């Protein structure tokens, strides 16, 4: 039979009162008139302890706890965890709840203080933000309960093992899908692009209204009807889009606890979903010093699941990216002119000079958009006020790095290569806006 008192713990209030009793007894040896007071205090203290133990450890004091957690978490998002508490006790209990979280979260001081009334049921919710993909294991729930006396506390241990998997941000994907595909985009960051050109997929002939492209006037239909008629074109569908992810060591740099590769993975999932919702085909290529995974473009909803599973398993590598190998692979794997979003990072003008000729070759075959990152911390530091010689030196170096990013963009634009330079936090929205812009301009 298990000993119920193995889970008994002493609270700090107990030691405080015990100290007072000890002081009174120490004084009673020098002042005899204090001896009865010391005895009475000791008796009252022991009585309170016994009452506290009886209240906590009698059979009617029972507590139940269940953890409800989703099987899938979204990377870098706030994910809820629910604790269902049920009190079968006849007294109010003051609780300190310590949930044994997955080691990847590195939360070693996590606890929740809560009070539950007698015969009550409560639901507690807290949020977790995972910053690494993979399998997360929740273990025991430890609850330390004490009464209003607060001298002794009892530990309840609930063996509640839960396993969840952290995938690229599904929440972010759904959020941007709603923003982009809504009829009127009121949300900040999603641009409603005015159409500059048009595709060549004919839809219908309609009457001319102000704002229509006069180059689309159908003169034969105009002569027959007497009204100005224009040809109406719809967006070409089933166009190909590829997200190419650089997994080399330049993408291991962390921002807000998330690596650049993870930002690129979240953005790739978002843009692939948007493209497929607009009836385009989305594909995926990963590379570093070797070619990783290649998913040929498709627009079926089941294909998005393949992209999600592929992105879930991608890891950074410590080697340099091999752009020559990437170019050869694109020549062999992508047979139709496609829109390519290349997620990578360049920190110096020298880095882009080594690969710009290869990027030019890719751009001749396809519509290439090179996406690289702005270092927020360097930009902020370059704008700080210098107060001494060392600060002047450091802010000058920071400004040099910030200027080099713009030089990289100018170098790519000089050869007609589309670019996005963005902070990691704005990567998804800037990528969506570029996609919508290119669609509106009829470049793909």
pLDDT tens for each residue of 34-50: 677 778 888 888 899 99
209, 234, 259: which is the final residue of a domain?
234
Mean residue pLDDT of the chain comes to 87
**pLDDT tier for residue 183 given thresholds of 50, 70 and 90:** very low
pLDDT at 361 over 80: yes
Please state the pTM of the whole predicted model. Answer: 0.81
Same domain for 136 and 253, yes or no, is no
Same domain for 359 and 383, yes or no, is yes
Region 243-262: mean pLDDT is: 93
Distance between CA atoms of 44 and 116, rounded to whole angstroms? Answer: 27
Same domain for 105 and 211, yes or no, is no
| CA 37 to mean position of chain CA atoms | 62
Same domain for 256 and 353, yes or no, is yes
* 257: CATH: 3.40.50.410
Question: Could you tell me what percent of the chain has a pLDDT over 70?
Answer: 91
Q: In the chain, how many domains are there?
A: 4
pLDDT tens for each residue of 407-418: 999 999 999 999
Same domain for 307 and 397, yes or no, is yes
The whole-number pLDDT of residue 214 equals 77
Q: Mean pLDDT lowest for which of 69-78, 193-202, 383-392?
A: 193-202
234, 252, 283: which is the final residue of a domain?
234
Same domain for 131 and 97, yes or no, is yes
User: What tokens does 185 get?
Assistant: 């985009």
Q: What is the DSSP string of 241-276?
A: EEEEEE-SGGGG-EETTEEHHHHHHHHHHHHHHHHH
pLDDT tens for each residue of 300-313: 879 999 999 999 99
Same domain for 258 and 384, yes or no, is yes
Same domain for 116 and 30, yes or no, is no
Region 176-184: mean pLDDT is: 66
**pLDDT tier for residue 237 given thresholds of 50, 70 and 90:** low
Range of the structural domain that residue 225 is part of: 201-234
**Comparison of pLDDT for 333 and 185, the residue scoring more:** 333
| Residue 40 CB-half CA count within 13 A | 5
218, 234, 250: which is the final residue of a domain?
234
Q: Mean pLDDT lowest for which of 1-10, 34-43, 213-222?
A: 1-10
Region 221-250: mean pLDDT is: 82
Same domain for 264 and 338, yes or no, is yes
Q: Which residues, in sequence order, are CB contacts of 8 under 8 Å at separation 6+?
A: 53, 56, 57, 152, 153, 154, 155
pLDDT tens for each residue of 254-289: 888 899 999 999 999 999 999 998 889 999 999 999
**pLDDT tier for residue 394 given thresholds of 50, 70 and 90:** confident
pLDDT at 136 over 90: yes
Same domain for 421 and 290, yes or no, is yes
Same domain for 24 and 135, yes or no, is no
**Comparison of pLDDT for 372 and 2, the residue scoring more:** 372
Same domain for 330 and 253, yes or no, is yes
């Amino acid at each position: 039979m298990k000993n119920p008192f193995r889970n008994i713990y002493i609270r700090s209030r107990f030691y405080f009162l015990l100290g007072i009793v000890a002081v009174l007894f120490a004084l009673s040896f020098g002042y005899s008139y204090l001896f009865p007071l010391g005895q009475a205090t000791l008796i009252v203290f022991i009585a309170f302890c016994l009452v506290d133990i009886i209240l906590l450890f009698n059979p009617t004091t029972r507590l139940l706890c269940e953890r409800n957690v989703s099987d899938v978490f979204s990377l870098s998002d706030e994910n809820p965890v629910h604790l269902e508490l049920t009190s079968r006790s006849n007294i109010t209990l003051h609780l300190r709840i310590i949930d044994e979280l997955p080691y990847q979260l590195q939360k070693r001081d996590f606890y929740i203080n809560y009070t539950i009334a007698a015969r009550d049921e409560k639901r507690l919710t807290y949020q977790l933000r995972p910053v690494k993909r993979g399998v997360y294991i929740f273990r025991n729930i430890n609850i330390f309960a004490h009464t209003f006396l607060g001298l002794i506390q009892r530990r309840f241990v609930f063996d509640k093992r839960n396993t969840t998997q952290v995938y690229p941000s599904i929440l972010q994907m759904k959020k941007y899908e709603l923003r982009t595909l809504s009829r009127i985009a009121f949300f900040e960051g999603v641009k409603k692009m005015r159409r500059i050109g048009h595709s060549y997929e004919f839809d219908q002939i309609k009457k001319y209204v102000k704002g229509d492209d006069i180059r689309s006037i159908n003169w034969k239909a105009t002569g027959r009807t007497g009204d100005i008629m224009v040809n109406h074109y719809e967006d070409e569908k089933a166009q190909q889009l590829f997200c190419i992810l650089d997994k080399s060591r330049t993408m291991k740099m962390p921002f807000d606890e998330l690596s650049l590769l993870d930002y690129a993975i979240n953005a790739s999932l978002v843009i692939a979903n948007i493209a497929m919702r607009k009836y385009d085909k989305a594909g995926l290529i990963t590379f570093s010093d070797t070619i990783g995974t290649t998913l040929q473009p498709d627009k079926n909803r089941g294909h998005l699941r393949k992209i999600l599973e592929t992105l879930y398993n991608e890891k950074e590598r410590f080697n340099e990216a091999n752009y020559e190998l990437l170019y050869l692979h694109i020549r062999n794997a992508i047979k139709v002119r496609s829109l390519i979003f290349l997620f990578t990072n360049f920190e110096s003008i020298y880095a882009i000079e080594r690969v710009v000729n290869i990027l030019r070759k890719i751009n001749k075959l396809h519509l290439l958009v090179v996406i690289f990152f702005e270092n927020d911390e360097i930009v902020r530091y370059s704008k700080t006020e210098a107060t001494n010689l060392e600060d002047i030196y450091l802010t000058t170096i920071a400004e040099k790095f910030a200027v080099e990013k713009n030089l990289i963009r100018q170098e790519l634009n000089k050869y007609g290569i589309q670019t996005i330079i963005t902070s990691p936090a704005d990567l998804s929205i800037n990528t969506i806006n570029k996609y919508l812009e290119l669609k509106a301009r009829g470049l793909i």
